[in-house]
Chains A and B, each alone.
Chain A
Amino acid sequence: MNDIAVRVDGVSKSFRMYHERNQTIKAAIMRGRTSVHEDFWALNDVSFDVPVGSTFGLIGSNGSGKSTLLKCLANIYFPNKGTITHFGKMAAMLEVGSGFHSELSGRDNIFLNGSILGMSRKQIAAKFDEIVDFSGVEQFIDQPVKNYSSGMYVRLGFAIAINVDPDILVVDEVLAVGDAEFQAKCFQKFRDFKVEGKTVILVSHDTSTVRSLCDQAAWINKGSLMAVGEAAPTIQAYIDSVKGPSA
């Protein structure tokens, strides 16, 4: 067995910064070009390994490239250079409730959203009660989701995503949703994941969350990897850099 869950190897990702964007056929034909752009490197040669069974935090300031890396990990963006290898089934939670149809009931949406996240009908049926239970919307499960409060909506979405049952779970800062009770439930779920030997990759700029949950961390700044390894020293290095060494 391999003890690496995800290998990020020399990943670089660039975006086009458009000075002029004329996405019309007229522009394409008349001027022989649709845009003028230069490349912006959001990620620059980032490499690290995520060990199996760890809770791995990705930290960095706004615009540091951590969300880009997250999207690369989730197969939504494809790096220009380098490779990302997953060892095991991966599920990403970048937004909860993606693909909900507001006119359909909570029940229908569980099946719809579950299949978008890659579950089969059988798997969803088996997990159905657990999902409903976790979300705490039993009473309203046959109501259209447009009548849900925003908290219920998010909780249902999160409950589905967490029950995809992946080997590797990639999570964006969606934890800032729901009330304190629900957040505690989520954190407990992550700890359960860890106990089961599953890997969680968490992206956040909230260092206290990362500190309490993660045992490994990577700090990204302006697209480059600054530090990776044990959570505590990595987070400390990040905090020091933000506050300045004197603080």
Chain B
Amino acid sequence: MRYLKELLDSRELLANLTLREVRGKYKRTVFGQLWSLANPLALMLIYTFVFSLIFRIDPDVGDPSGLDNFALWLLCGLLPWTFLATVINLGVGSLVSNAGLIQKVYFNRIVLPLSLVGSAGYNWLFEMGVLVVALTVALAFGGGIMLQWVPLVVVAMAVFAVFGAGLALMLSIANVYFRDTQWFVTIVLQMWLYLSPVIYPSSMVSDVSEEIGGFFGGPISLADVYYLNPMVHFLDLFRNLLYDNRWPDVSTWLICLAWAVGVFIVGVFVFRRNERNLAETL
């Protein structure tokens, strides 16, 4: 409880550090905030070309939205993914790169990784805004309405950001003790992307799983293992809301919420246990 109060006291610092990241990031660029869109758009083009045109991946038509567009379907999963990848990539080094500050000033250290989540979240919000506009336009042709889903999308984004923050907290501490973490993380992120239904629908995994049956004839199937990946559920959540325009199952909500809260609590716990030693260890 006392920690919660400390955290509340640092909210202004958190806001200022977030603003520092946001303002400093695209300073002295001609296109400014538009650069935030460049990376997902480039990925969208290349993935659409490779996986839709060549590999012929064909996700289900949005139900009930009636949308049938691979690029839009891809972005509904790709934008959350790039957000998480950014949070993890930057969060991992957030303590090490601010070593000078940590060794010279006392403040609540948790704001360092959290401010990165904030600034990445700001960019993400911008990207999602553009996506919502695109979806609204696409849906207007079919007579559908997007806007009523926006509040729920924001809730889902908040839950996902909490999940990302928990991971960032853990990894930032791990990186202080083992600098290998940052290199390890880049590999894991690459594997995680392909193990998550970002560029293909999770239904394809279920199909394959049914085909091959349980491992070694046992009751555990490929899909059972696959669904242990929290990203499967988070992406379901986003695609249900954005692409299909329907309520996600209650179980999807609950699983996502449980992952987010669980990871965040562990993250805060790990961080609390180590924050006093940071100045010496760095």
Contacts and interface: CB of A to CB of B under 8 A. Distances in A.
Contacts of B17: 112, 116
Contacts of B23: 101, 103-104, 108
A94 interface: yes
B279 A94 contact: no
A78 interface: yes
B178 A101 contact: no
Contacts of B107: 116-118
B28 A74 contact: no
A92 interface: yes
A116 B178 contact: no
Given A76-B279, A104-B20, A108-B23, A116 B179 contact: no
Interface stretch (A20-28, A176-184, A221-229): A20-28
B178 A24 contact: yes
Interface string B269-282: 00000001101100
Contacts of B277: 78
B237 to A, nearest CB: 33
Interface stretch (B97-105, B138-146, B147-155, B203-211): B97-105
Main secondary structure of the interface of A (DSSP, over half): loop
A99 B105 contact: yes
A174 to B, nearest CB: 11
Instruction: Tell me which of A24, A104, A116, A121 has the highest count of chain B C-beta atoms within 10 A of its own C-beta.
Output: A116
A190 interface: no
A98 B102 CA distance: 9
A71 interface: yes
B101 A98 contact: yes
Contacts of B19: 112
B217 interface: no
Interface size class of A (residues with CB under 8 A): 20 to 34
A71 B107 CA distance: 13
Given A71-B279, A76-B279, A78-B276, A92 B20 contact: no
B105 A15 contact: no
Given A103-B27, A104-B20, A98 B104 contact: yes
Contact of B106 (A24, A74, A103, A120): A74
A24 B101 contact: no
B105 A98 contact: yes
A115 interface: yes
B13 A115 contact: yes
Given A98-B100, A112-B20, A121 B105 contact: no
Interface string B16-36: 110110011001100000000
Interface in A102-130: 103-104, 108, 111-112, 115-118, 120-121
Contacts of B249: none
Nearest to A34: B177
B279 A77 contact: yes
Contacts of A76: 102-106, 279
A75 interface: yes
B280 A116 contact: no
A101 B279 CA distance: 21
B106 A23 contact: no
A92 B177 contact: no
Interface in B1-50: 12-13, 16-17, 19-20, 23-24, 27-28
Interface string A86-106: 000000101100110101100
B178 to A, nearest CB: 5
A196 B45 CA distance: 66
Contacts of A71: 279
B49 to A, nearest CB: 36
Interface string B171-185: 000000111100010
A88 to B, nearest CB: 15
Nearest to A144: B27
Interface of A: 15, 23-26, 28, 34, 71, 74-78, 92, 94-95, 98-99, 101, 103-104, 108, 111-112, 115-118, 120-121
Given A98-B105, A101-B20, A116-B101, 5 more contacts: A24-B179, A92-B105, A94-B104, A95-B105, A115-B12
Query: 9 closest pairs, A vs B, by CB?
Result: A75-B106, A95-B104, A115-B16, A115-B13, A103-B27, A98-B104, A94-B104, A76-B279, A78-B276
